[in-house]
Amino acid sequence: MKKLEFKPGRLLRHLVGEDLAVRRAFSRDALRRIEAEIAAQELRHGGELRFAVEGGLPPGMVLRGVRARQRGEELFSSLRIWDTEMNNGVLVYLLLADRALEIIADRGIHARAGDAEWASICAGMQREFASGAFEQGVVAGVRAIGDLLALHFPRDAGDANELPDTPVVL
């Protein structure tokens, strides 16, 4: 059994203002614009892209020491991003309480793009986030991921939208 991780500062960040943090970073209009950008990018390639943002984790997850990467992988699975025909789904996951950003890519696109590409996209997004430009950071990341997907998985006439484009707010 894993030992509980008690870090009062982290626990407090996850408990206090998680909904407020998401609303402050992403208005309803901003989320609609992000959805529109995802839809526009998916017209350029055969991949699937999802964006999920979470203000903070539930206390049990914090106490178990769950980190953004682990949570992102869990969401990648539960949102069925792994279940695309070409194994080319990508999740952009933002955990505001930890100021953590993760890009989780399915094996089809990850094998072609690699860690350096994802790290570069994350770095660009984080520069925008540091100045408080959350919507712009996500849109820039979605466009950069769209460029990679268009390069490696050009759109075919028969491509269908396999996953919703709507951002997931947890």
Q: What is the pLDDT of residues 2-35, one digit of tens each?
A: 556 667 777 778 877 567 788 899 999 999 999 9
Give domain limits for the chain. 8-154
Q: Which of 6-20, 44-58, 130-144 has the lowest mean pLDDT?
A: 6-20
CATH number for the domain whose boundaries are 8-154: 3.10.310.50
CB neighbour class for 34 (10 Å; exposed up to 12, middle 13-18, buried from 19): buried
CA pair distance 151, 45, nearest whole angstrom: 8
Query: Model-level pTM?
Result: 0.91
CA pair distance 121, 126, nearest whole angstrom: 9
Mean pLDDT, the chain, integer: 91
Q: Which of 28, 75, 74, 52 is nearest to 165 (CA)?
A: 52
Q: Strand, helix or coil at 21?
A: helix
Q: Name the residue type at position 140.
A: A
Query: E-strand spans in 1-160?
Result: 48-54, 89-95, 100-105
Looking at residues 56-60, what average pLDDT do you find? 91
CA pair distance 121, 144, nearest whole angstrom: 7
